[in-house]
Structure 1
């Protein structure tokens, strides 16, 4: 099952005011310069590089031309004429994530085809570092999760630990996982499990092998939290 989201409903605000009736919001498209560090001791005749300065790129906007959008489209034109640095926020549907940045308007364009609609286009050059904000699901809550068959879990399940190692005795061929969450849908290896209830039996590999177990907690309009458990049977 995919965790992808549709883009419909994405908005961009200029100085706190949503820009009206946009059909396309592209960017930021971040890039980084490279600095060559190749020297006479470089291995295997390959050039070596390190990362140089970063560039946050541009935001390309397109939509219906709305002459009454004084704080949005017309405001962008004012910013262009005055050469000001303005504040912007892109908000994705359901507020699952935002891009917050400062930018200068480098392009304003309108188009009026005889058989089409009036179109507004603008380009914003991001200045400085943009900030990506993500709304995360709450995730697991106390006591987080338990594994049957007296599995030994390292580290102890906790708020901000997302990767675990667990072991069971050689003779154990399957386990169940009991997750706890206060909100959202919980899946264990892709199967929905109610909070505080045991999952269906998870078959383990041969003694000495590792079985990967994933617990995912997903709330509506929030990014999921994923917990990974590497569980092994003691070697015989």
Structure 2
């Protein structure tokens, strides 16, 4: 029997515009509802009766590896210091087509060091209002292309493909063009927000070096629907 379960690899969480990087575990809002006892002397059969009270969306726990240069982790720490309510979004893999969005405050930030373990990062977000679980996926990109001398997109773009490589680049920079009518399009470079894209229009030039590949992430979203994430690893060969 074919199983509907999907792997969690590729799940992301954003604080504002920045993705929080190098995570190995992402929780979610956990909604509970208080109960109000409305039992009276004439309640039928001697059973207690209840109505719903306030709802509480709980806390979202994060854990992973401490990366001081990660803009998302830095934003979490800044949010703890400020105490301000932030906008968060959990984006599940595209095959699921689901997201959580919620306001929250950061209530804990912890860096862990243990013998024979990588230095860890932990944080807790208190959901501060109504969370929204969106189960209607955006249509996503209808076209994706990059320009840069020598570069080849592999595999060729398909509407059901979300992970690509753009290899063999000899140019000093590349541009990316994403097409998706009636979508907001956001471009990230190595996890950091770079710019809002206009459908069918090339991005600004993205500088490359031969010392490291760059990961381009495009998040496409139709209003009122869940986001779809595309990733392109760009490799400069000379």
Counterpart position of 2:194: none
Structure-2 residue corresponding to 1:17: 18
Q: Which residue of 2 aligns with 1:85?
A: 85
Aligned to 1:188: none
Aligned to 1:128, the other structure's residue is in SS state coil
Q: How many residues align?
A: 141
CA shift for structure 1 position 41: 1.4
TM-score, normalised relative to structure 1: 0.56
Distance 1:100 1:74, change over 3 A: same
- Equivalent position of 2:186 in the other structure: none
Q: Match for residue 133 of structure 1?
A: 134
Match of 2:41 in 1: 40
Q: 1:36 to 1:14 in 2, by over 3 A?
A: same
Q: In 1, distance between residues paired with 2:33 and 2:60?
A: 17
Superposition RMSD in Å: 2.3
SS in 1 for 2:131: strand
Give CA deviations for 1:114-140 in whole Å, capped at 9, x if unaligned. 2211000000001110111113599xx
Distance 1:46 1:123, change over 3 A: same
Task: Return the alpha-carbon distance in structure 1 between the equivalents of residues 47 and 124 of structure 2.
Answer: 38
The TM-score normalised by the length of structure 2 is 0.55
Residue in structure 1 matched with residue 152 of structure 2 by the alignment: none
Deviation for aligned residue 1:27: 1.6
What are the superposed Cα offsets for residues 78-102 of structure 1, whole Å, 9 maximum, x if unpaired?
1101111111100000161011111
SS at 1:79 equivalent: helix
Q: Which runs of 5+ in 2 are unaligned?
A: 140-159, 161-227, 229-238
For residues 19 and 42 of structure 2, what CA distance do their matches in structure 1 show? 55
For residues 166-190 of structure 1, what are the alpha-carbon distances to aligned partners after superposition, in whole Å with 9 as ceiling and x for unaligned?
xxxxxxxxxxxxxxxxxx9xxxxxx
**Does the C-alpha gap of structure 1 residues 114 and 12 become closer, same or farther in structure 2, counting only changes over 3 Å?**
same
Corresponding residue of 1:26: 27
Following the alignment from structure 2 to structure 1, what is the Cα–Cα distance between the partners of residues 134 and 28? Answer: 15
What are the ranges of 5 or more consecutive residues in structure 1 without an aligned counterpart?
139-183, 185-221, 223-236
Q: 1:2 deviation in Å?
A: 2.4
- In our comparison, the structure showing a higher alpha carbon Rg is 1
Give the ranges of 4+ consecutive aligned residues of structure 1 lying more than 3 Å apart after TM superposition: none
Deviation at 1:7, TM superposition (A): 1.4
